[in-house]
Amino acid sequence: MFGFSKGKAKNPEELVKSCQEKRDWAGLARAYYDMGVAAMDEKDLYRAVLWLHRADTIFSASDKVYKKVGEKIVDDCSDRIGTLEDGTLVYNDISEEIADKAEEMEDIQIRLWDLLAIARLVKLGAGLGKLPGCQVLGQLGYAVNLMFRSFRQPITQEEYSRLMDICNALYEFGDSEAFYAGGEIEIPGNAPFQVFDLNGMFGVHLQINGYMDSHLRLLAALSNGREPDRTESFMNGCSLLPDYYVRTTSRNPQDIPQVQAELSRIWDDCRFVCSGADWEAIGQRLEGYLELDILG
């Protein structure tokens, strides 16, 4: 099921590495699909979510790969993901809790809540941004600072255009080979972090893209004297980075100290932005997060 080479079965990790080295993306998608099916059969639902979503991301990125993988696997993968989304997993529960809370919040509170979460990913993004094809992740710090400033004062057309370029690049990044080709960075004292670990929670890069797009629309509306549309919470807990911990440990993500710490920060930020904190206090918290090692 996991693939064979000249009569000798490869273990899943070997097959994944082999497909990455050969740039066999259809083979890589099938390998992740097989790993997801095996995990699901073993009731290891977190790893089932991890691997099946990776398969889905790869074959959805290219029509050529999609056709090679075949509709049978594509459809079954989709059905399995749908089943897992109905389960009681941190992947699902935290997203629902945040979405429910956001419905009670003012528009500016939601935007600041999400921006603080993005700020906590800046240092990780800076490291990943040094990898080939991942440069856009190294621009998150600039984007966060610019968006925070733009809440209080107008930005230039050049700054607006650069923010739009970053937004568009994040959207395209998820379909790039650099996203799923196996790039990783060293994490002191822990397992390396793979670029593909950003794939969880509907894609960290896509959630940041959605936030930026909403912010650009806000700025455009205000500059034209229009009432901006209400936003939604885009981050939805993706700063928990559960794919990394599911891939590298055998523990329930909710039992990981870094996940617990991030959950605490998420809800503390919610209380903070709803408490009427002034811009100076929010800016100080933002600055602290820009230097945070979220995996530490």
- Res 81 pLDDT > 50: yes
pLDDT in tens, 103-125: 999 999 999 999 999 999 999 99
Does 191 have pLDDT greater than 90? yes
pLDDT at position 8 is: 52
In the prediction, which pLDDT does 93 show?
A: 85
Output 96 or 284, whichever has higher pLDDT. Answer: 284
Give the type of residue at 264: S
Average pLDDT for 258-275: 96
pLDDT band, residue 9 (cuts 50/70/90): low
**Predicted confidence (pLDDT) at residue 1 exceeds the cutoff of 50:** no
Segment 59-77 shows an average pLDDT of 97
Q: Which of 235, 244, 133, 116 is nearest to 181 (CA)?
A: 133
Percent of the chain with pLDDT over 90: 84
Query: Using CA atoms, how far apart are residues 198 and 243, in angstroms rounded to an integer?
Result: 7
Q: pLDDT, tens digit, for every residue of 156-189?
A: 999 999 999 999 999 999 999 999 999 999 999 9
User: What is the per-residue pLDDT for 292?
Assistant: 97
Q: Taking 50 as the threshold, does the pLDDT of residue 3 lie above it?
A: no
Looking at residue 2, its pLDDT comes to 38
Q: What is the pLDDT of residue 95?
A: 86
pLDDT at residue 284 greater than cutoff 70: yes
Confidence grade of residue 13 (pLDDT, cut at 50, 70, 90)? confident
* Mean predicted confidence (pLDDT) in 219-238: 90
Q: Which of 246, 247, 250, 239 is nearest to 295 (CA)?
A: 239
User: CA Rg, the chain, in Å?
Assistant: 20
∠85-26-172 over CA atoms, to 5°? Answer: 70
* pLDDT over 70, % of the chain: 97
Q: Is the pTM of this model over 0.75?
A: yes
The pLDDT value given to residue 86 = 86
